Every structure is written in C-alpha cells, then in structure tokens.
Amino acid sequence: MKLVKESLKDKVYNLIKERIFSREYKLGETLVIAHLSEELEVSNTPIREALSHLYSEGLLTQEGTSKYKVITLSEKKIIDLNQAILFLLRGSLRICLKENSIDNLVHMLEEAYNRHKYLYESNVKFDYKYIEISLNFDRQFVIASENTYLIDMFEYLFPQLVLASVYNNKNYKNIHMEEHHKLFESIKNSDITTTFDLLKLHFGKDFSSMEFDF
C-alpha cells in the first residue's frame, strides 16, 4: 500500500488544532497569518489553508483576510450545542428504527464502546484525545443512520463539542463511561424507550451542574 505523506497544510492544521484543544490558544485569541508564518517558518499559503479548514469546522471566526480568532463559549452556546447534538442522535436513532438497521448500530456501538472502555481501564490521561474517542461512541448513532446530511451536521459540531468538553472542569470520565455502558446495554437489549431516555440524560444535563472555565 502506498503511504501518503502528510502535507504541510495538514501538519500546520494539526498543530494549530492541538494548540486550541490543549488550551495553549485561549478562547477568543487572535491568530495572525503573518505571525504564524514567521513562527513556524512556512509560507502564508499552508497557514491560510489550515486556518480556513479550522474555520470550516467552527473552531475559528474570521477577522478580515489575514486574521482569525478562536471561538468563544457561553452558557447559551453550550446549551444550544448539546440540544443540537441530542436532536441529531435521537433523530438518527429513529431512522435506524425505520430502516431496520438497529443490529448494525449495535455492532458499531460495540466497537466504539470497547475502544472507550479500553482507554478508561488503561487509566490514560483525560485530555482532548481521550474526549474525542469517548465522543466517538455518540457519533456512531449518526453514522449508522447513513443520512449524509445528518452526518455532515454532526461532523461540523464535533470539534466544537470536543472544545466545550475541554473547558468543562467537571471530570466526566467516570460518568460518561457509565452512561455509555447503559446506552449500549439498553439498545443491545432492544429497550429503545430507555435508549431515548438515556440520550436525553446524556446530553440534556442542566448547565448549573457543569463547571466551565471560560
């Protein structure tokens, strides 16, 4: 198999994204193409392409032609984001029921759950990489629907959901593992009513129960 060498744009994209998720770049911080080009010792083009990609994922806002800003978070944004994710997951589950594809969903959830469980039991660092794998369990509901419009909407929101989780000081590592276990067991046992209820619990937490640092 031919290996595809990572492009310069991808390297810059991954670096900046990691700095955003690791909170090296703060919420609302301005990123200037010329400054990044000088720091990273690369031309403006891969910087601009990388920032444009992050903008398309909702992690940046654009300030003119040469500046971007890391998005900010607020109580309303967090609530709206969770409501949107919940809507997509429950809607996708309804599609799976309609299309008789629950067995496929169960298989996909099992793989994602086992990967999450392995990380959890390995006691790896609870950082954005862990969060991405944990949230990948929830992603499977949407992927299983095979509805490209819902999948595109979820993929757009996914990086923002990771970022919001990074700024939540309340450690949900144990809680999310337990909730994913209950979700997986309910749908595996065809207890769909409980699955819908658990999804609401999973993404319908009251803002006051969270501990955001922004």
Tens digit of each residue's pLDDT (9 = 90 or more) over 166-189: 988 766 789 999 999 999 999 999
Q: What is the DSSP track for 172-208?
A: -HHHHHHHHHHHHHHHHTT-HHHHHHHHHHHH---GG
pLDDT in tens, 72-98: 999 899 999 999 999 999 999 999 999
Structural domain boundaries in the chain? 8-70, 75-209
Greatest extent of the chain over all pairs of C-alpha atoms, in Å = 57
The yes/no answer on whether domain 75-209 falls in CATH 1.10.4190.10 is no
Whole-number Å distance between alpha carbons of 94 and 141: 10
* 8-70 topology per CATH: Arc Repressor Mutant, subunit A (1.10.10)
CA distance 123 to 120: 5
Read off the pLDDT of residues 102-138 as tens digits, 9 standing for 90 and up. 999 999 999 999 999 999 999 888 899 999 999 999 9
